[in-house]
Amino acid sequence: MAPVLIIEDDTDIAESLRYNLEREGLKTRVAETGEAGLAAALDAQNAPSLIILDLMLPGMSGMELCRRLRREPQTRRTPIIMLTARTGEADHVAGLDLGADDYITKPFSVRELMARVRAVLRRVDESTVARYEDSHLQIDFAEMRVTCDGQDVRLTRKEFALLSVLSKAAGRVATRQQLLDNVWGYQYFGDSRTLDVHIRRLRQKLGVCGDCIQTVVGVGYRFSGCPEKREQHSSANS
């Protein structure tokens, strides 16, 4: 199992992170400076599955380190969760623009951070799937292409992101909050009804494939694929 790399100069915080991650069954590695973190991240023999990066580091800053990591082919896609005491929106935006996958401010809840870690690692696992296909619906995640019964379906980026999150977790219920976090981001505080509007439009655009998305009342949505009963119904009527 690839380790989680903790780049944090505060030894108490680093130890707390290490302890809680290992309680979750994850291996860890700790670096106390930006330079040591860069070397550890680029260690081909022990490449990290995730990097938890403090922004206020001695020597190379966390921002500069994130910039360097996103330029290196080996770490270009390695997920990064940034930690910082800065709470300004500009700092959040700057970190995300540099390529961080998530951002959490100090002091933070360990339970919340662990939930963020699990969510990021889950997205990494699911993103390795190249495509979804059943007898009616085909989704090419790399090409962002969707077809239903051979007809192209034109989706907005948000609609495609929703369909991707749901289909990569086929059969599992995605809560409303999980969908908002994954598609709109953790910093989204808008009206949750926007999710229902996007789901409704997505179903409409999918046409006869729209029933692949089921509503789980009071919880969220589940992707079930296109039911075979449609084929049986068509045969019965022919």
In this predicted structure, what is the pLDDT of residue 142? 78
In this predicted structure, what is the pLDDT of residue 236? 36
Higher-confidence residue of 227 and 14: namely 14
- The stretches of the chain forming alpha helices (DSSP H) are 11-23, 34-41, 62-71, 89-97, 110-127, 157-168, 176-184, 193-206, 229-237
Instruction: Say if residue 122 is in the same domain as residue 209.
Output: no
Instruction: Say if residue 92 is in the same domain as residue 187.
Output: no
Domain range enclosing 44: 4-126
Say how many C-beta atoms besides its own lie within 10 A of residue 10's C-beta.
15
Chosen domain end from 75, 92, 126: 126
Whole-number Cα distances in Å, 6 to 83, 113, 125, 204: 10, 13, 20, 44
Confidence of residue 234 (pLDDT cuts 50, 70, 90): very low
Instruction: Say if residue 77 is in the same domain as residue 148.
Output: no
How many domains are contained in the chain? Answer: 2
Instruction: Say if residue 34 is in the same domain as residue 55.
Output: yes
Instruction: Say if residue 122 is in the same domain as residue 135.
Output: no
Q: Using CB atoms within 10 Å of the CB of residue 88, give its burial: 0 to 12 exposed, 13 to 18 middle, 19+ buried.
A: exposed
Confidence of residue 187 (pLDDT cuts 50, 70, 90): low
Query: Residue 149 belongs to a domain with what CATH number?
Result: 1.10.10.10
Rg (CA), the chain: 21
Instruction: Say if residue 100 is in the same domain as residue 198.
Output: no
Does residue 158 register a pLDDT over 80? yes
Single out the residue of 74, 66, 68, 23 nearest to residue 48, CA to CA.
74
Contact 222/216 with Cβ under 8 angstroms?
yes
Confidence of residue 180 (pLDDT cuts 50, 70, 90): confident
Confidence of residue 235 (pLDDT cuts 50, 70, 90): very low
Instruction: Say if residue 152 is in the same domain as residue 65.
Output: no
Distance of CA 226 to the CA centre of its chain: 25
Chosen domain end from 97, 126, 155: 126
Instruction: Say if residue 98 is in the same domain as residue 138.
Output: no
Contact 90/98 with Cβ under 8 angstroms?
no
Instruction: Say if residue 66 is in the same domain as residue 103.
Output: yes
Does residue 129 register a pLDDT over 70? no
Instruction: Say if residue 52 is in the same domain as residue 136.
Output: no
Question: pTM higher than 0.75, yes or no?
Answer: no
30's tokens: 């700790």
